[in-house]
Chain A
């Protein structure tokens, strides 16, 4: 068993040798620094992507359920789904009058492949007809202007609220509110612009416009159309209660026999979350796998320099052994040396990575919208520092192990005789 005094002795010798070969120690540490900086930056980037994703989900509404003819997960049972009857507006309104647990019941009519025309330019986007209740969902938060009012909804006013993507494409210079867009030939006045909602592969969500339900009927008609119904539950805890109630009402409204499956789907944001999960795992594995290369190279550098260190100090080791130093004491000396190098690397890497992040975030503000940049943390989380230091120490110990073993196994007689 290694005594404390011996351990202290080993540590002192380790620190001394680092100090004597200052340049060498600095360079070895620098190799580790490069690796740790890259890995930490990757960790931060992945964290940022996750935060942005969470934000997207939050804005679109974690507390929303959508009753649709189609299943968002796109199940392969197309025959069954295709055979489902359309959900009519009448059914949607019946559900609205029966639902008690949901805060709002919002019928939606969608035309996915629609287009809006501004002067000579036209833009493909989806057109959604809905009620004024939609204004109460988190997805209806406007950047400029407002959502349409109940009066406008009931009078089928030709007013339109445009998504952020439509806004950016048609009005890059700003000031959309008050302008006129043509939808299927009829003019609509823009009264609001929605805030940015989608990110990554969800950005199609910003590529839609909202008009009052009756105005939708006037331009696109209700013929051969399946409506969907948005249910705002108020909180995530209410999701299950609302879902159960909605399923019961919908089955009654659509006369589903007790032994038959639902002839509609209840969709929620989790469907997207599931799809995103695999992509996120893929990004994590590939990103970390690649950045860790530099870290491996850094630790190979440590191993190499430890071998040099052992060779150079063969005589010293011989003397220490000759006057009674134990193998464990020699082993500890070299392990401490390499662990210290690695730990120093991790500690130095952190402020550097933080500096890069500050710069990168500055750039991100330029590229992304302001509201998105604010989602990404400007600080590298401290737990990442803890992990980096811990991993570095372990890697340092592993990299130092072989050289240290070689040193501890030197035959003192041979070692004393060794000449460079």
Chain B
């Protein structure tokens, strides 16, 4: 008896006992559904949040001229907004009392970095920063040191480079202390950024950081001379206070009339940052434990139904044995039946789980998370196929063994 035949037999058994099989499938499906939907939804949320906040650290808020997340934005209105000048940002920094951790930066894309004969791709982001950049943002230096306050004040030509730049320009040498050239200006490398990897296909390591004073002198884009101000609240409870204060100071600095809307963007992602990942992790743990628990309960149910099935088919087994079926064949037949049941249930759960998480991501997208994208949970799908097989074998083994060890004479006589 070959495996295909066993599978067909299993389908026959499923078909002949529709209600019973349906309930069994449902129970396996619920377990798989829990695991797939929780993993997939959390994955999508996490990715969306990480994408938005690739750099912004915990408890931080970002003040920009225009929003970093664009959806339904009235660009004509945005363009009329005046730049946040470096001077304005510095005044803002001095006026804030609820926190000292305020950093001013500006980014310009599309630079080529040269070192000796080597040169990088012309798509490097150049970021002008100050000494508190690393204290506020979730970015850190893995070798060398950050840029100091005095280097910012005296416009020293120093640079911190990302891992991609290290790989192209200094594959074999130690980058620290080397000179790099950016548009004919020479900088000495004092530090290397910790690798961050890519977010949605965009590398976060393809960047060079220099003092913002130097940046302002040579690299400011005429049409985008507006700086970004990142503010780190002292703690999560201080976020509302810091937001209030920052809004107030920014409005007064930019002469916003009381009846007018803000002419700048203030993004805070307090609830969605550090706490968010802790929260998703906890939720994932609960989801996995519950899902696995449900799968074990379903497995027990399968074992029960297989035992019933063995009992009901005692005569059939007796006949097959009398006709010379080997033990191995009987075991195989029942194992394949239980695995088939598990896989069918798993498939149902998977489809349900994927549909649900797709629906939830679409729903979130239509509300307030434009960057969320549905992530097909490939890993979890593979895992559920494996776990369904394991459960099918684990809980089907005993009933199969019991069927195989029936005494043919007794079995034939069974009523």
Contact = CB atoms under 8 A, between A and B. Distances in A.
Interface of A: 23-24, 27-28, 30-32, 34-35, 37-38, 42, 70, 72-74, 76, 78-79, 81-82, 112-114, 124, 126, 201-202, 204, 207, 224-226, 272, 286-287, 290-291, 293-294, 296-298, 300-301, 303-305, 307-308, 420
A38 B289 contact: yes
B286 A287 contact: yes
Contact of A297 (B27, B233, B249): B27
23 contacts: A28-B301, A31-B304, A35-B294, A38-B289, A78-B245, A78-B247, A82-B245, A112-B99, A112-B233, A112-B235, A113-B98, A201-B275, A204-B237, A293-B30, A294-B297, A297-B30, A300-B27, A300-B30, A301-B297, A301-B301, A304-B301, A305-B304, A308-B20
Interface residues on chain B, size class:
35 or more
A74 B241 contact: yes
B243 to A, nearest CB: 7
Contacts of B290: 38, 290-291, 293-294
Residue among B26, B237, B294 having the largest count of chain A Cβ atoms under 10 Å? B294
Contacts of A303: 23
B154 to A, nearest CB: 22
Nearest to B241: A70
B236 A204 contact: yes
Interface stretch (B66-74, B108-116, B165-173, B305-313): B305-313
Contact of A291 (B99, B232, B286): B286
B312 A201 contact: no
A286 B279 CA distance: 11
A388 to B, nearest CB: 15
Contacts of A272: 237
Contacts of B233: 112
B239 interface: yes
B319 interface: no
Contacts of A225: 97
Contacts, number: 151
B351 to A, nearest CB: 17
A100 B148 CA distance: 52
Contacts of B296: 34, 294
B19 A296 contact: no
Given A24-B308, A73-B240, A204-B237, A297 B291 contact: no
A207 B240 contact: no
Interface in B230-261: 232-241, 243-245, 247-249, 258
B53 to A, nearest CB: 18
A348 to B, nearest CB: 13
Contact of B20 (A28, A72, A291, A304): A304
Given A293-B31, A294-B297, A301 B304 contact: yes
Contacts of A32: 297
Given A82-B244, A294-B297, A303-B23, A113 B101 contact: yes
A294 B240 CA distance: 40
B140 interface: no
Contact of A308 (B275, B283, B293, B308): B308
B241 to A, nearest CB: 5
A297 B31 contact: yes
Contacts of A124: 101, 135
A78 B296 CA distance: 54
Given A34-B296, A293-B294, A79 B258 contact: yes
Contact of B300 (A30, A207, A287, A293): A30
Contacts of B312: 420
Contacts of B30: 293, 296-297, 300
A34 B293 contact: yes
B303 interface: yes
A31 B240 contact: no
B297 A286 contact: no
A31 B297 contact: yes
Given A35-B293, A272-B237, A308-B20, 18 more contacts: A30-B300, A31-B300, A32-B297, A74-B240, A79-B258, A81-B244, A126-B235, A291-B293, A294-B293, A294-B294, A294-B296, A297-B297, A300-B27, A301-B27, A304-B20, A305-B305, A307-B20, A308-B308
